[in-house]
Amino acid sequence: MTPVQEAQLNDIYNLILNPATRDWERAQLVKLKKAVAAGATFNTELARLEASLRPLALRNNLTPDMTDFYHKITGEPELAAKFDLSRHYAADQPYEARAIFAGGCFWCMVEPFDARPGIIAVISGYTGGHTENPSYDQVIGQYTGHVEAVEIIFDQRIVKYADLVNLFWQLIDPTDDQGQMNDRGSHYRPVIFVRDQQQQAIAMASKQALAASGKYKKPIVTAIEPAQKFWPAENFHQEFYKKNRQRYKRLERTRQQYLAVQHLRSKLQLGWQRFKRK
């Protein structure tokens, strides 16, 4: 076997053992493993595997790790580039801090923060639930109590926590606690997860100021909750906006159109309130 084939076979073994791999996906992988062990040509079996996975891959319906593997064997390794999670596990410097926000699908929550000066890392993941090391399928199935969220590691000398909270309000519908835009379900509910009393005070004051501003007819229902363990999501989800640019643009366009209408309504609401006070 060539080094490339050995690496692919190692990926297959890891996927077979991965608890997040679906039963049907695992059956296809095991079929290849047994065929190769019986003397079949690896490339022939790999081509058969690719063909069996293709219909689900075209519908974006493979599990995240299987999707990365599919990109590798179809000549798109850049889409499966390994995201460095070491910063999530490393200790923070005295001038660094972390913020955790949930605001619907985490694919659209990364770029707005990632583009800000002073941001060290933005990591997609799951938090607020009751299951250890949840998978994407478990979270979207609403079996674990987790929400999709982003963990932001930032330099407090450059950007303040209050600035990140203010940006968060601009990215969500704070009057909807059943999801966000087209993303429905408890795993998409908006939450500010606070890590200490200072963050809690800032988040609460910001929420109260938003409620008092009169921008929204409906109550501000975004939750503020104590931070729980943050589990980084599968590699496929990290920096989705960079690796899947066209798909991300379509999702972000829909999100921005919704928020633009909402912001227009807010301006009209404030204008009407000023008119009534005259």
Tell me if 115 sits within 8 A of 167, measured CB to CB. no
Residue 262: the pLDDT is 75
Please list, residue by residue across 193-206, b when 16 or more beta carbons sit within 10 angstroms of its beta carbon and e when fewer do.
bbeeeebbebbeeb
Is the confidence at residue 129, as pLDDT, over 90?
A: yes
266 or 23, which is more confident? 23
Q: What share of the chain is helix, strand, coil (3-state, %, to 5)?
A: 55, 15, 35
In this prediction the pTM is 0.91
Residue 36: the pLDDT is 96
Residue 276: the pLDDT is 60
Please list, residue by residue across 88-125, b when 16 or more beta carbons sit within 10 angstroms of its beta carbon and e when fewer do.
beeeeeeebbbbbbbbbbbbbbbebbeeeeebbbbbbb
Residue 1's CB is within 10 A of a number of other CB atoms, namely: 10
Is the confidence at residue 144, as pLDDT, over 80?
A: yes
From the list 49, 229, 261, the residue with the least C-alpha distance to 125 is 229
pLDDT tens across 213-249, in order? Answer: 988 889 999 999 999 999 999 999 999 999 999 999 9
For the chain, how many residues are written?
Answer: 278
Cα(89)–Cα(95) distance, integer angstroms: 17
Model confidence at 132, pLDDT cuts 50, 70, 90, reads very high
pLDDT (average), residues 243-269: 82
Structure tokens that stand for 276 in this block: 């009534």
Cα(161)–Cα(223) distance, integer angstroms: 17
The identity of residue 137, as a single letter, is D
Cα(189)–Cα(239) distance, integer angstroms: 21
pLDDT tens across 51-96, in order? Answer: 999 999 999 999 999 999 999 999 999 999 999 999 999 999 999 9
105 is catalytic: yes
pLDDT (average), residues 178-189: 93
The mean of the pLDDT values for the chain is 94
275 or 72, which is more confident? 72
Q: From the candidates 53, 97, 105, 227, give the one annotated as an active-site residue.
A: 105
Tell me if 192 sits within 8 A of 225, measured CB to CB. yes
Model confidence at 109, pLDDT cuts 50, 70, 90, reads very high
Residue 186's CB is within 10 A of a number of other CB atoms, namely: 13
The identity of residue 61, as a single letter, is N
Spatial neighbors of 227 by CB under 8 A, at least 6 apart, are 100, 127, 193, 194, 195
Torsion of CA 107, 111, 114, 115, to 10 degrees: 180
